[in-house]
Structure 1
């Protein structure tokens, strides 16, 4: 499928690929690359054209995430989350709130960062006169560093402890972001921690209507998050395949017992590649079907039904499980078609497995399979949550 807006992305991919190995080694914020995304106009990819954006459908935006993941899954992560957060404002808030944010994002090439993490309950919001005060801490704040706007969550400090979500400038007084992300994969997602000290939140900055997970349409938010991960995982698998292919053709040697003149003719190597191909092709079909299904659900808006949303949840979960399992398998087995020399530290071919392993733990695959099993056996659709 041809996506005209993605022609903007093509020259960036080779630039990002050229530095991906060194940046994986270094970790930290990919400032140069994030600025390149700002300058490209792609931060407005999913923003409607009437608000100054490129007006791309979601299947095109997700394809951009997948293409980025082939060369650099950290950039794919922060780019995908940027568009997830733009969608969150639209799903949880009112047009009079999010339209000005989206217009300004398109006009000024603003990068959105994440400080939502609903499982981290250490941040509280209290009413203080004509505004609110937020105090506490958050972990896994992907893309928060070097962001311009921040989507944050807090529990209302009352008996109900409702989850509240706001959009605020990242530079607001009392917001402290820490460069403490040092995990073995996704090393440039800046998924470190944040602290909030008496941060003032205005009433109009809270996304209250319809609010988090309040309607079938609002419940598309977690599905988009899951779908972004599925596209990242597929892109990582495709990137690992391309690296393995280049190495096998150009550097790998046949085992001394092989009758083949080259590694690329060895029957066992070819068997591996046959299995890689089947895994990737089946995953592509599942992911692309889910991408298109999400775009169709998005177009329905508030007319979306719980049943249609539930069917989409099954399609996305299926795609994510396939992308997780096949990606991890391929990223590990690529060394079997490369041989011992493929483990050289300078190549850092292990980064595909490390990135996948780190990100696939975002939520346990066992529980995703439990939901799918409950659907397959009992025809029960998943209960909407921030992870399903």
Structure 2
């Protein structure tokens, strides 16, 4: 395993409260400008958040999933793009934790703590454009391209999946982002989630050493990685719904005007506006409650380790889907209702109040909602628990 170049010297650390305040202050402007949030990512590292998912035996925080997702929700409430980046760094760390052998776990998990690595994601087995050619010594050469590679720009390490045309199976590996032959492209230009560094990555004769190849175990415990990923998305949606509600409330208190037929002197006394805020609040707190319930179920399953049974894992998949459906809808609905609550002047472009809906709209397209509702419906009607897949 080669020596990885350390990131630039860190700035003074920030606690979570200060971090949230700093991110909130620049969120609208950065949303308009897009690009790479190098300064803000440094703040996140300085706050000590990059090691939340690293087990304590390797020097990390060893935080429970309930606590990790609480942090992600708080970040998403002010900046869902950077919450996405932190969530996906935690996800890649988990990939090393459950797929790595003892030597790989020690090397990469300790390295994540010592060097404060940001992790990029080039794992999508459905995208077979990246081809892995065996080199005969247990390693591979990678050639091709991957899309939707969240967090790769500005990362030090990345996890990768590639297609082995001989076996027809995916190959998983971990490589330094700056390895020769890897090019991270600045071609991410969506309507939302604009600072998630999710462009494409190309690979030309990229060497993967034998000790960089990961073996994905076929066990219920290892397959929790998929549910960890889905709960990252769920809590991003919850944070977006909460953030939209926060922004609507602040705008109405500062700029709201009562409608001429309301019969009240201030907007906050308008009965229809009160009704609208009640509905938005109910959606946001319902989504959070189900997200917390799912995180608690995940924590219980995670603690069981290799003794985890398939039935228990399936029940975690069910509550994860239930939470994600509600959070998905809440993020979109509250982001849209914000404008019904705030009125026409709230569409002033520099306010960027549309970013909550835009970010939710981009992120909720990660995988189809219909199939998740189908899984819940199968259980509700027939008692059939979800099967293990790339998304459940």
- TM over 0.5: same fold? yes
For structure 2, which runs of at least 5 residues remain unmatched after alignment?
Answer: 1-13
Could you tell me which of 85, 88, 92 is aligned with 1:81? 88
Task: Let me know the Cα RMSD of the aligned residues.
Answer: 1.1
Counterparts of 2:36 and 2:385, CA distance in 1? 39
Could you tell me which of 358, 365, 368 is aligned with 2:369? 365
- Equivalent residue runs for 1:48-87 within 5 Å: 48-87=55-94
Paired position in structure 2 for 1:162: 169
- Equivalent residue runs for 1:1-388 within 5 Å: 8-130=15-137, 131-158=139-166, 160-208=167-215, 211=216, 214-388=218-392
Counterparts of 2:105 and 2:264, CA distance in 1? 61
Deviations 1:164-215 (A, max 9, x none): 111111111111110000000000001110101000001111111xx16x11
Contact residue 39 and residue 109 of structure 1 kept, 8 A? no
Counterparts of 2:72 and 2:314, CA distance in 1? 24
Contact residue 134 and residue 154 of structure 1 kept, 8 A? yes
Counterparts of 1:317 and 1:366, CA distance in 2? 11
Deviations 1:20-40 (A, max 9, x none): 011001111111111112222
Counterparts of 1:220 and 1:64, CA distance in 2? 20
Counterparts of 2:85 and 2:299, CA distance in 1? 21
2:133 is paired with a residue whose SS is strand
Which has the larger displacement, 32-41 or 358-367?
Answer: 32-41
- How far did residue 249 of structure 1 move? 1.1
Contact residue 125 and residue 163 of structure 2 kept, 8 A? no
1:269 is paired with a residue whose SS is helix
For structure 1, which runs of at least 5 residues remain unmatched after alignment?
Answer: 1-6
Counterparts of 1:206 and 1:192, CA distance in 2? 24
2:162 is paired with a residue whose SS is strand
- How far did residue 155 of structure 1 move? 1.1
Counterparts of 1:114 and 1:318, CA distance in 2? 26
Which has the larger displacement, 109-118 or 87-96?
Answer: 87-96
User: Runs in 1 of length 4+ with deviation above 6 angstroms?
Assistant: none
- How far did residue 73 of structure 1 move? 0.3
Contact residue 177 and residue 194 of structure 1 kept, 8 A? yes
Query: Matched residue pairs, number?
Result: 378
Contact residue 252 and residue 338 of structure 1 kept, 8 A? yes
Counterparts of 2:52 and 2:140, CA distance in 1? 33
Counterparts of 1:48 and 1:218, CA distance in 2? 15
Counterparts of 2:387 and 2:171, CA distance in 1? 20
- How far did residue 49 of structure 1 move? 2.0
- How far did residue 356 of structure 1 move? 0.2
Deviations 1:120-173 (A, max 9, x none): 110111112433101111000000000011001001120x31111111111111
